[in-house]
Amino acid sequence: MPGAVDLAAEKFSALLVEEQGDRVVVLLNRPEVRNAIDQQMVDELHTVCAALEQNPKVLIIAGADGVFASGADIAQLRERRRDDALQGINSTIFVRIAKLPMPVIAAVDGYCLGGGAELAYAADFRIGTPDVRIGNPETGLGILAAAGASWRLKELVGEPVAKQILLAGKVLGADEALAVNLITEIHSTAGLLGAAHSLADRISRQDPLAVRITKSVFHAPADAHPLIDQLAQGILFESQAKFDRMQKFLDRNAAKKAASSDTADGK
Quote the mean pLDDT of the chain: 95
The one-letter amino acid at 203:
I
User: What confidence category does residue 266 fall into, taking pLDDT thresholds of 50, 70 and 90?
Assistant: low
Mark whether 141 and 27 lie in a shared domain. Answer: yes
Residue 2 lies in a domain: no
- Please indicate, yes or no, whether residues 229 and 113 belong to a single structural domain of this protein: no
User: Are 214 and 197 in the same domain?
Assistant: no
pLDDT digits (tens, 9 = 90+) for 165-189: 999 999 999 999 999 999 999 999 9
- Quick one: 137 and 103 in the same domain? yes
Question: Do 107 and 222 share a domain, yes or no?
Answer: no
Give the whole-angstrom CA distance, residue 23 versus residue 36: 24
Q: How confident is the model at residue 3 (pLDDT cuts 50, 70, 90)?
A: confident
Please state, for a pLDDT cut of 70, what percent of the chain lies above it. Answer: 97
The pTM score is: 0.93
Same domain as 154, residue 66: yes
- Identity of residue 124: D
Give residue 228's domain range. Answer: 208-264
Asked if pLDDT for residue 246 goes beyond 90, the answer is: yes
Q: How many structural domains comprise the chain?
A: 2
Whose CA is closest to 238, among 197, 210, 200? 210
231 inside domain: yes
151/184 same-domain check: yes
Q: Is residue 1 part of a domain?
A: no
The CA–CA distances, whole Å, from 223 to 111, 154, 215, 226, 229 equal: 37, 20, 17, 8, 11
Domain match, 38 and 129 both: yes
Reported confidence tier of residue 114, pLDDT bands at 50, 70, 90: very high
Residue environment code for 31-50, b if the CB has 16+ CB neighbours within 10 A, otherwise e: eeebbbbbeebbebbebbbb
